Structure 1
Amino acid sequence: MKMMVTHSHNSFHHCCQILLAIVLFSLQILTHIEAYGSKVEVLPGFEGPLPFELETGYVGLGETDDDMQVFYYFIKSENNPQKDPLMLWLTGGPGCSSFSGLVYQIGPVKFENKEYDGSVPSLVSRPQSWTKLCSIIFVDLPLGTGFSYAKNLTAHRSDWKLVHHTHQFLRKWLIDHPEFLSNEFYIGADSYSGIPVPAILQEISNGNEIDLQPLINIQGYLLGNPLTTNREKNDQIPYAHGMGLISDELYASLQKNCKGEYTDVASRNELCLRDLKYYDKCLSGINTFNILDRYCEDDSNLKRRSLTQELKASLSSHLTVPELSCQIYGFYLATKWANDERVRKALHIREGTIRKWERCYLSDFEFDISSSFEFHANLSKKGYRSLIYSGDHDAVVPFISTQAWIRDLNYSIVDDWRPWFVNGQVGGYTRTYSNRMTFATVKGSGHTAPEYTPDQCFAMFTKWISKLPL
C-alpha cells in the first residue's frame, strides 16, 4: 500500500515536471536552432532511383549546434501524403535505432539476405511497407541512438528525458514541416518503447490542452509486444507451460514454491530458485523472441535476468558473424551498411559526429518509469484510439501478460474475441474495448511481429489505420 502512495506522489511530481518542461520549451522554441532536412535521392545498395520520397535530417534540441541533435528518416506516404496520417516510429531497446523499424519491419526497403561480400549490402523493396498508407518519421531517440548525438550523452539518457525529447522533437519537426500539421497523427512503437510511448502521448496531449504551439493532431497509438508493467517475467512461465516448453510437474512445482512471483525472488527461497534454474535449462536452446525461429548462439542466452537486461543482452552488438539463416544476420548487414562512407554521404550524416554506428546503444540509461499502465489509463479517459498487437510466439513479452493489463484497465468489451483473416486464412485473434482499444494476436509471429509475418501485419495495420474493424 505504501508503494501506491509514493507512486501517485511520483506521478504528481512528474506532472509538475512535465508542465515546467512544456512552459520552458514553449519559451525556448523560437530561439532554438532550426531543424534541417535534406532529400535522399539514391541509397547505396538499392538499384536505381528510390520509388518513395525519403528525407533525412537533424532537429536541434539544445542551446547550441553541438548540444543535442536528433537524427530522423522521414518517408512520405506513397499514397496521398496530403491526406494520409503521419506516424512517428520509435524502436525499443531502449536505444535501438529506428532504422531497425524501417529496414526490418515496416519501411519500404529491406536487406537482401545474402552473404556479405565486402561491398555495400544490397537493399530491395518491401511490398508490405506501412508507408503505402501513411507518412512515417523514424526517429533515433534516446540521444546517443543511431546517428543522434549530444555533447554530454549521459545527462540525456533516461525514460523521462526520452519522453521530453520526443515531444520537443515532434513540435519542432512540425514547425519545419507545417504541411503536415492538419494530418491525423499517431505514434507507433514496440518492445521496450511500450514504457515511454504512453507517457509521450500524455505529454503531447497535456501540451495541446494548454495550447502549446504548434497543436498536434493526435489521434492515437499502436504498440507491438510492448513492455508495460515490468512484471512480464511472471507471465513467461505460464506461457512456456502452455506452449509445451516445460512439464506439468515443473509448472506445478514453480507455482507452489514461487507462488506466482518469478521476478523478485528472495535469496532464501531455495526451492523456487532451484525450479527457476531448471526452467532456464529447459529454455536454454529456445529463441525466446520467437519460439518457432531457430536459436542462434549469439541470441540472448536467457539466464534469470530482469526483462530489460534480457532485452539488452539480445540487442548488444554481435562481434562474430552470425549464420546467414539467423535473424541477427540482418543486424550484421545493417552495421556494415551504416558504417560505409558512401551511405553516410547519401544520408547527409554530419562528418565526425558518430564514429561507429551501432544498431543499439544501450549504456548509461536510467530506467525511471517502472510501468506505463497509468498512462494507458489516462489516455483511455481522453478517448484516443489504440491498437495493441502481440506476436503469439513471443516468450519475452507474452500475449497473456498484455491481455492481463488490458483487462485491468476495466473497460467493457464491444466486439468479443474472434479470428481476423488475411486472404481467407486466420491471421490471429482480436477483441475491441469501449476505450477504443483494439487488441490483436498475430498468429505464428514473434516479438517484432511485422518482421516475422509482414503480410499479416500489413493487413492488420491497413484495417486499423483506415478505421475499419480487423
Structure 2
Amino acid sequence: MRLSFSALALAAASIHAAAAAEENKTAGEVSKGAKVRTFDTSVLGVDKVKQFSGYIDNEEEDKHTFFWFFESRGDPAKDPVTLWVEGGPACSSMLGLLQQVGPARINEKLQPEFNPFSWINRTSMIFLDQPANTGFSHTSKHVNTSIDAAKDVLTAMTTFLKQFPEYAKQDFYVSGTSYSGHFVPAIAAEILSKPESDINLKGAIIGNGLTDPKVQFPAFRPMGCGEGGIPAVFNESACAALEAAEPVCKELLQECSEKEESETCLNAFGQCFAKPLSLKPGLNVYDLRKPCLGNSSNFCTDNVEPIVEWLNLAEVQKALGVEVVEKWETCNSTTGADVQRTGDGAKSLQKQVVQLLEKKIPVLVFAGDGDYICNWLGNRDWTNALEWSGREAFNKAETKALSVASDGKEKEYGNIKSADGLSFVRIFDAGHFAIRDQSEGTLDLVDRFMKGELKGN
C-alpha cells in the first residue's frame, strides 16, 4: 500500500518471547519442516465470511510467516484467490487489510467498520506479512532483496495451498501497492518460473507502485512542478534544481541498471529519490492535494493510528494467534533498512514484468493522480517504455474513460490504456491510497481485470 522510507527512521521492532493464543488447528506437515497453523478470527467481527489467521512455518529456514485469510463474499468455490503483499519495504499487510482492500476498516473507536467495496466482494484474499520479520512474522534469518523475498513467498504459498487444496484449483492473482511494485513482479515471476508449484497464476496487480526507478524517478520534477494535473508544489528555484539534477540522476540510474551493485544503486537511490522527497519539509508526498496530517511516519493520514492501537490490543492478538512479536508496528525499520542497503529500491523489475506479459499473464498498473512518491506520470512512463512484444500496440492504444454505476448514475473514476494484456490506469481524484480514495472505482477495475475485460481495447 505504501512506500515508506520514513519507516527506516523508526526504532527497530522489539522482538521478545510472548505467549501465543491457543491454536484452533495445528496442521500436519505438508512437506519436510513445512506446516500451516490456523486460528479462527470470526470473534473479532471483521466480517462474517469464513476466515482464519495463522503462521506458515518453514522450520528448516526458521521462518514463520503470518497471514490472515478471508473467503470471497461471492462464490469462494469458484472465485479467484488473491495474495496481497504490502510495500514499504517491510510494511505489514494488515495495513492494506484494515485500511484499504479488506472487509473492514478500523474506526476511531477501535471498532471494525464494514467495507462495502472490499476486494473480497470479488475474490478470496490472503494478506501476508513479508519479507521476514515484517508485521507479526518472525525469523532469525534476514531477507534483503525483492528477489529473495519472492522466493520465501512462493514457499509460503505452496505450503498454504497444499494444506488447503480447496483453494489451489482457483485462479491466483498477486497484488499490492507502492514498494510492492517491486514485490509483485518478483513474486509473480518466481511463481511462473516454478511450474511444479501448481499455482494457477492468472495476473498481477500493481497500484501506485515503484517498478522501474530509472524511468519513474525523472517524473518527480514534472509532477511537483505543475505538469501532472496538480498545481506546482515547488517554487521556480526548486524546479530548476530538479531539472539540473536530471542528467546526473540519469547517469546514476543507468549505472545501477547495468551493474546492479549495492553501492552504486544505493547512491542512485539517495540522489534521485530521497532528495526530491525532501525538497519541501511537511509536503504530503502521498497526496499533493492535501495537507500532511501528522508526519510521514503515519503516511500523512489520520487512519493509521487506530489500526496500530487495535492490532496491539491483547484480545486481538490472542484471537490472531500472535506469537513472539510483542508490539505490532506498521513497518519494520530494521528489515526495511536491510533491503535499502542493497540498493534494491533503485533496481528495476521491468524484466520480470516482461516475463509475465510474454507468457500471457495480464498485468494491471494503476495510479492515483494526486500521488507524488509513486506518481502517475512515472507509472505511465515506465509502462510506455517497457520493452516487450506488445510495446507498439500498447503505445498506439486509445486511452478510454472508466466509469462505474453509482447511486443510479455513471461515475467516471479514471482512464485506461490497454493492449495485449498490459493495462495502465490513471485514477482520478486519488492519492497514493487510491484504493481508499476511489474504493468503488478500484473495485470495479479489479473486477473487470479478473473477468478478462482489460486485455485490450
Structure-2-length-normalised TM-score:
0.79
Change in 2 beyond 3 A, CA 1:372/1:35: same
What residue is the counterpart of 1:237 in the other structure? 221
> Which residue, out of 80, 86, 96, partners 1:101?
96
Matching residue's letter, 1:204: I
Distance in 1 of aligned mates of 2:120 and 2:363: 19
User: By how many angstroms is 1:257 displaced?
Assistant: 2.9
Pairing 1:429–2:426 present: no
User: After superposition, where does 1:371-450 map in structure 2 within 5 Å?
Assistant: 371-410=348-387, 411=391, 412-413=393-394, 415-423=397-405, 424-434=410-420, 436-450=421-435
User: By how many angstroms is 1:262 displaced?
Assistant: 4.9
What residue is the counterpart of 1:21 in the other structure? none
User: By how many angstroms is 1:192 displaced?
Assistant: 0.5
Using the aligned pairs only, state the percent identity: 23
Pairing 1:148–2:137 present: yes
Which is further off, 338-347 or 362-371?
362-371
> How big is the alpha-carbon RMSD for the aligned residues of Structure 1 and Structure 2?
2.8
What residue is the counterpart of 1:34 in the other structure? 35
The answer to whether the 8 A contact 1:234-1:261 is kept is no
User: After superposition, where does 1:50-199 map in structure 2 within 5 Å?
Assistant: 50-63=47-60, 67-113=62-108, 121-150=110-139, 152-153=140-141, 155-199=142-186
Distance in 1 of aligned mates of 2:327 and 2:440: 34
> What are the superposed Cα offsets for residues 212-243 of structure 1, whole Å, 9 maximum, x if unpaired?
24x11111110001101234332111111213
Matching residue's letter, 2:98: V
What residue is the counterpart of 1:22 in the other structure? none
Pairing 1:466–2:448 present: no
Matching residue's letter, 2:133: G
* Structure 1 segments unaligned to the other structure (5+ residues): 1-27, 115-120, 267-275, 300-312, 316-325
Pairing 1:220–2:220 present: no
User: By how many angstroms is 1:29 displaced?
Assistant: 6.8
Pairing 1:455–2:440 present: yes
The answer to whether the 8 A contact 2:368-2:432 is kept is yes
The answer to whether the 8 A contact 1:245-1:283 is kept is no
User: By how many angstroms is 1:282 displaced?
Assistant: 7.0
User: By how many angstroms is 1:130 displaced?
Assistant: 0.6
Change in 2 beyond 3 A, CA 1:256/1:349: closer
Change in 2 beyond 3 A, CA 1:235/1:260: farther
User: By how many angstroms is 1:376 displaced?
Assistant: 0.9
Matching residue's letter, 1:126: N
Distance in 2 of aligned mates of 1:103 and 1:461: 18
> What are the superposed Cα offsets for residues 136-195 of structure 1, whole Å, 9 maximum, x if unpaired?
000011111111111x24x33432321111010010000011011210000011100111
Which is further off, 247-256 or 339-348?
247-256
Change in 2 beyond 3 A, CA 1:166/1:279: closer
Change in 2 beyond 3 A, CA 1:258/1:132: same
Structure-1-length-normalised TM-score:
0.77
Change in 2 beyond 3 A, CA 1:156/1:285: closer
The answer to whether the 8 A contact 1:143-1:157 is kept is no
Give the structure with higher Rg (CA): 1
What residue is the counterpart of 2:22 in the other structure? none
The answer to whether the 8 A contact 1:191-1:448 is kept is no
Distance in 1 of aligned mates of 2:79 and 2:235: 50
How many residues align structurally? Answer: 390
Distance in 2 of aligned mates of 1:30 and 1:393: 46
Change in 2 beyond 3 A, CA 1:261/1:157: closer
Higher relative contact order (Cα pairs below 8 Å, separated by 6+ residues): 2
Change in 2 beyond 3 A, CA 1:172/1:428: same
The answer to whether the 8 A contact 1:107-1:126 is kept is yes
The answer to whether the 8 A contact 2:242-2:276 is kept is no
